[in-house]
Amino acid sequence: MIGAIAGDIIGSVYEWHNIKTKSFELFDPRCKFTDDTVLTVALADALLHSRDYSETMKDYYHRYPGAGYGGMFKMWAGSKDSEPYNSWGNGAAMRISPVGFAFDTLDEVLSNARDFTAVTHNHPEGIKGAQSVAAAIFLARTGSSREEIKAYVEGTFGYDLSPTCDEIRPDYEFNESCQDTVPQAFAAFLEATDFEDAMRNGISLGGDSDTLACITGGMAQAFFGPVPAKISKRVLELLDEDLRRVALEFVDRFPSAA
């Protein structure tokens, strides 16, 4: 989960100012956490303390109202209604990483990814995006190779993961859908040589940079192991006390999420 938060923070300055290169300062002075981190930590909190996820997300929304949420989510979180709104947005995949670390079987991961996603993103593409990322995290942390992960995701969810980062990068533009963010995040993860390289791959593609890097980061961390200390230290420094406390509690309970 720390990897997903790292992707959000590192990518935060590039969401509206895309760069198409892997050569950039990893932590720009303007880096900050966004809604991606807030809702990821909210899910971790819900898992840790058996809290209703709808209520937890609304609680976090009101505590961090300026974090950069999408318009439909803001309407949902600010209302008394808790019915899902059939979203296929990439928010489904960016907040799901805790599920990939918290359960012991692939079936449990898939079931919980569906249930936690469907509280808002109950469109089939939203569910698919979240399940594919959570499954990849589970498979990565339990020893599957990237070839095995790629084959599983393509066979189970129907994503075409053949385009490379070099093929994606030139024409890829901002997109808030799961269907045009999740495959790109997989490309960034599948080609990476280590965690930092995964971050640079994801951000270099452009698009919704913080969300794409957030999705990439969860998978890369699960595969490569703990986030490098120089990165995780800075990430934790950039969280406020409440978010940092929940993140560290989650890591303490589920050590592979570090």
Question: Which pTM does this prediction carry?
Answer: 0.97
* Token pair 């290169």 in the structure block, residue: 21
**How far is C-alpha 257 from the chain's CA centre?**
13
Which residues, listed in sequence order, are joined to residue 89 by a DSSP beta bridge?
177
- The phi and psi torsions of 247 (rounded to 5 degrees) equal -60, -45
Instruction: Give 180's Cβ-side CA count (13 Å radius).
Output: 12
Q: Are 127 and 140 in contact (CB under 8 A)?
A: no
User: Residue 257: what pLDDT?
Assistant: 87
User: Residue 242: what pLDDT?
Assistant: 98
Please list the rounded mean pLDDT of every run of 10 residues in the chain (258 residues): 98 94 96 98 98 97 96 94 94 97 98 98 98 98 98 98 98 95 98 98 97 98 97 98 98 93
Find, among 96, 90, 115, the residue nearest to 179 by Cα: 90
SS (H, E, C) the chain: CHHHHHHHHHHCCCCCCCCCCCCCCCCCCCCCCCHHHHHHHHHHHHHHHCCCHHHHHHHHHHHCCCCCCCHHHHHHHCCCCCCCCCCCECHHHHCCHHHHHHCCCHHHHHHHHHHHHCCCCCCHHHHHHHHHHHHHHHHHHCCCCHHHHHHHHHHHHCCCCCCCHHHHHHHCCCCCECCCCHHHHHHHHHCCCCHHHHHHHHHHCCCCHHHHHHHHHHHHHHHHCCCCHHHHHHHHHHCCHHHHHHHHHHHHHCHHHC
User: Residue 232: what pLDDT?
Assistant: 97
Which residues, listed in sequence order, are joined to residue 177 by a DSSP beta bridge?
89
Q: Which two tokens stand for residue 248?
A: 């560290």
Domain ranges of the chain: 2-257
User: Residue 223: what pLDDT?
Assistant: 98
**Amino acid at position 8, single letter:** D
User: Residue 258: what pLDDT?
Assistant: 85
User: Residue 224: what pLDDT?
Assistant: 98
User: Residue 93: what pLDDT?
Assistant: 98
CATH superfamily, domain 2-257, is ADP-ribosylation/Crystallin J1 (1.10.4080.10)
Q: Which two tokens stand for residue 205?
A: 């593609």
